[in-house]
Chains A and B, each alone.
Chain A
Amino acid sequence: MKCFIGIDLGSTTTKAVLMDEDKEVLGQGITNSRSNYDTAAAVSKQEAMISTRFTLMRRGFENVASAKDSMDDIMSSLERNFRLEQFREQLDDLRTTCKGFVTDDRFKANADATKAVLDTTFNQLNDEAAALFAPGAKRKSDFFRDIAGGSFMNIAEEEAKKADLSYDLLLNVYDKSIIKVENRPPAGDMNNKFTRAMENAVEELSALGLNADDFATAMTEGLDIELEETYVVGTGYGRVRLPFPKEHIRSEILCHGLGAHIMYPKTRTVLDIGGQDTKAIQVDTAGIVENFQMNDRCAAGCGRYLGYIADEMNMGVHELGPLASKATKVAKINSTCTVFAGAELRDRLALGEKREDVLAGLHRAIILRALSIISRSGGITDEFTFTGGVANNEAAVKELKKLIKENYGEVTINIDPESIYTGALGAVEFARRAAKGDLTGAEEQLGAA
């Protein structure tokens, strides 16, 4: 089947969306941008392909009588088990890479002992992996680096102590290796992983009395459909790194505008707060950009700001919103500089203000900055769509709603849980349109991709 792909290379994450000829989104993928956009683009595209396979399989499963009543459970189990397979594959790669680094002069005396500690560590990681992907398990991130990294450090520190080896040396080996592994898109055979995942899912859902054979045909069909990359459009800061011609690149302003329009066709004003950009975009009734403003010279008030604050408070970035929502009053944070805001925060805490109140103040500061950018772009026209990573932060959303009401009155505010894909969604629609109007250039691009 003909398919179109949009890739949004953001400063923090890279997103890909895959669409078919009927404008239906079949899959989407996300990965951390690393310092390597080529890999990030390849991985996010592969993830979107995987997600598309799940969609296609699900369609096939509709015809399997035993699946009908428990489709969601089956799909969720299948996906978790697939992720587990994928995780273990990367873990193996990481183990081999780590051991490969233990050839250096520094290890002469302890090379064997170091390898042994690495094996013990990775064996344990491998054993613990199943629990990470068990039903209902919460992972602090979906990126391999984040999941593997934390556990590695805990286990390796313990093991190094036992073996009287330098933990720093192990850490150094890990740091070198994770970069290599991360910049090497998973290369293992997909179909095998899907098959094993299905077998494990059937076993996991044994209570349902499913039979793996019933799903085999539908699975094979879903996996055999050729996904013909007809046109790819890239956007975001890393877009110049995408290995295809200039006509396949669109500004993220246009992509976010169009993406928001597709999600909510009545959108007229879009606010996107990403890792280092805040964009305010005005679009017309067809999703065409009429005006835009972005933060300039300073990225205070963007996602990275929250990341910094989370570090300052020794918290995870996703924990900030929930804690701030518990505030009983909003502390006043004036600083427009991320680093100074950190200083202000410490000052407030030292004065005895509550963490949640201070955090609420920080969230308010972010939204005040965003509102200033919105007003520079021409204000808010109904409907308003909020996108980007920060749109998932409940405290930011709460503050935004309040301030919009104060400044612009009753406005419909749209926030899609999948809003992080807005830019890639716009990009894929540009790809679909470009291909519809003109397919020349697609061949050379296919050659390059």
Chain B
Amino acid sequence: MSNDNNPEVKKDTSMLKQKEMIAGNYEKLTNAKELGLKTSSTFVPGNLNELTRCFDIVNNLPEINALGNAMRKQSGAMISDAEKMGHSEDVCTYVKADIGMMAKGNIAPNGKPMPNPDMLLLSYTGCYTFLKWFELLREQYKCPTVMLHVPYQGDGKGQITQSMRDYVVKQIKEEVIPTMEQVSGVKFDIDKLRELMRNSAKAEDNLVWVLQSAKKKPSPIDGYFGAVYYIGPIFSAFRGTTDAVEFYDLLRGEIQERTDKGLGPVTPDGEMGKEKYRLVTEGPPNWTNFREFWKMFYDEGAVCVASSYSKVGGVYDYDGFRHDPENPIESLAEYCLGCYTNRNLPERTKMMADYIEDYEADGLLINSIKSCNSFAAGELLMLREVENLTGKPGAFIETDLVDPRYFSPANVKNRLESYFQMIEQKRQAA
């Protein structure tokens, strides 16, 4: 996910725009009391940003705070504070970084303290830890907590059934909206929701165009490290806004220009050299050593052409989902149900294999997260299965989200280089 401390990929207009948007949101959050605004904490996957905006509630996303703190090299101290408070070494490091951030005064990147949230919106999409995380926050903030239970796509058929949809819709109507009305004092206006959703769909069209530009050779973007910056606005607090629409217009224009010039991705060190390997990645990137990690790829000419991580908030490309202003509540339900984290293992496997075919990639690389039991489970099986389905070699590395102790550069680099050489060796043998 993106934040104001994003790696400076390049200072394009879109990037400056995104920086402004994020800084603006933190200003709004930290000045909420003065501005008379209510705030809500919620999660990235399948979030209900359009709905929250209907009530003028400002969104705070603890996951993004955690990864931002990791990029600013602050998460280590926060994690050790949380451990001192009794949270064990094996607990999700996003949670510990968040708890440690609170212990350190909950200071936002603009140097001002975050307000205590007026509500906790627990949309539960595939990650079991979310429940426990907000249980801890509820204990801390003693504010209304609304849980949107999104049923897991567990049947292995990759289908969202009508009853699943109905179940989520019912909760949105009967639990989520009334709580938001109560917290904000604002009456729900479905037309406002429709308007926001029209904006969402426009932005989503352009995002998909940008992500799919990686099908070209050379790819004009990096669909994993670079995509962190592309997905920022849509997966955080801006989906539905005109700002987000403008951002994706600008971005599309910039990528179009790169494509026209036949350029590859931009990296923190400038233009990337020759594209030698095209990879599909599963799992989030490591945040504590983001640039160092990325460099291990672009130094070797490896581009990530598609990733599951760029679908973690919601999946727009794979089965064409768009927020639908005509059926706003149903469409919100569909969005939550369809996000990547809520898909079962066979579906995720098929998706990765399809990406390898569609993007003409050399294979699947899994970055398994040490402190994430929810998603690390089954990843090796996934690797095997994708290898079988595509006949392309895969590789497996392990790092962590925001705990700097679990990023071992020598080990990661060793495995990556071995993998790239393995691809090369296979090509020569073919």
Q: Which residues of A contact B (CB under 8 A)?
A: 237, 250-254, 286, 288-294, 296-297, 376, 378
Contact = CB atoms under 8 A, between A and B. Distances in A.
Contacts of A253: 418, 421-422
Report the 9 A-B pairs with minimum CB-CB distance, sorted nearest first. Answer: A251-B418, A253-B418, A289-B422, A251-B421, A296-B398, A288-B429, A251-B417, A254-B421, A288-B425
A288 B384 CA distance: 17
Given A297-B398, A297-B406, A291 B387 contact: yes
A290 B418 contact: no
A286 B397 CA distance: 25
Nearest to B426: A288
A415 to B, nearest CB: 23
B417 A293 contact: no
Contact of A290 (B380, B393, B417): B393
Contacts of A286: 429
Nearest to B425: A288
A297 B418 contact: no
Contact of A251 (B384, B408, B414): B414
Interface in B371-416: 380, 384, 387, 393-398, 406, 408, 410-411, 414-415
A254 B406 CA distance: 26
A297 B408 contact: yes
Interface string B336-374: 000000000000000000000000000000000010000
Contact of A294 (B387, B411, B429): B411
Contacts of B426: 288
Interface centre among B384, B397, B414 (most CB of A within 10 A): B414
Interface size class of B (residues with CB under 8 A): 20 to 34
Contacts of A237: 410, 414
Nearest to A378: B384
Given A251-B418, A292-B395, 6 more contacts: A254-B418, A254-B422, A254-B425, A297-B370, A297-B408, A297-B411
A427 B418 CA distance: 13
Nearest to B430: A288
B206 to A, nearest CB: 39
A2 B92 CA distance: 57
- The A contact surface, by secondary structure, is mixed
Contacts of B395: 292
A281 to B, nearest CB: 9
A447 B32 CA distance: 67
A35 to B, nearest CB: 15
A62 B325 CA distance: 91
B387 A296 contact: no
Interface string B131-156: 00000000000000000000000000
Contacts of B397: 296
16 contacts: A250-B421, A251-B422, A253-B418, A253-B421, A254-B422, A254-B425, A289-B418, A291-B387, A291-B394, A292-B395, A292-B422, A294-B414, A297-B408, A297-B411, A376-B396, A378-B384
A313 to B, nearest CB: 29
Interface in B80-138: none
Contacts of B406: 297
Given A288-B429, A376-B380, A296 B422 contact: no
Interface centre among A237, A289, A376, A378 (most CB of B within 10 A): A289
Given A254-B425, A297-B370, A297-B408, A292 B418 contact: yes
Contacts of A290: 393
Contacts of B370: 297
A166 to B, nearest CB: 40
Contacts of A288: 422, 425-426, 429
A278 to B, nearest CB: 12
A290 B396 CA distance: 13
B414 A293 contact: no
A294 B414 CA distance: 10
Nearest to A236: B414
B376 to A, nearest CB: 12
A288 B395 CA distance: 15
Contacts of B393: 289-291
Nearest to B410: A237
B323 to A, nearest CB: 40
Interface in B285-343: none
Contacts of B425: 254, 288-289
A158 B135 CA distance: 69
A323 B370 CA distance: 37
Nearest to B428: A288
A21 B398 CA distance: 41
Contacts of B421: 250-251, 253-254
A297 B410 CA distance: 11
Nearest to B429: A288
A17 B196 CA distance: 68
A378 B380 CA distance: 10
A430 to B, nearest CB: 9
B57 to A, nearest CB: 41
B31 to A, nearest CB: 43
Contacts of B398: 296-297
Contacts of A291: 387, 393-394
B393 to A, nearest CB: 7
Contacts of B422: 251, 253-254, 288-289, 292
Contacts of A378: 384
A294 B415 contact: yes
Interface centre among A251, A286, A290 (most CB of B within 10 A): A251
A50 to B, nearest CB: 30
B301 to A, nearest CB: 11
Nearest to A279: B418
B396 A293 contact: yes
A376 B426 CA distance: 21
B429 A252 contact: no
A292 B422 CA distance: 10
A291 B395 CA distance: 7
Interface in B16-51: none
A296 B414 CA distance: 11
Nearest to B368: A296
B398 to A, nearest CB: 5
B418 A296 contact: no
Contacts of A293: 396
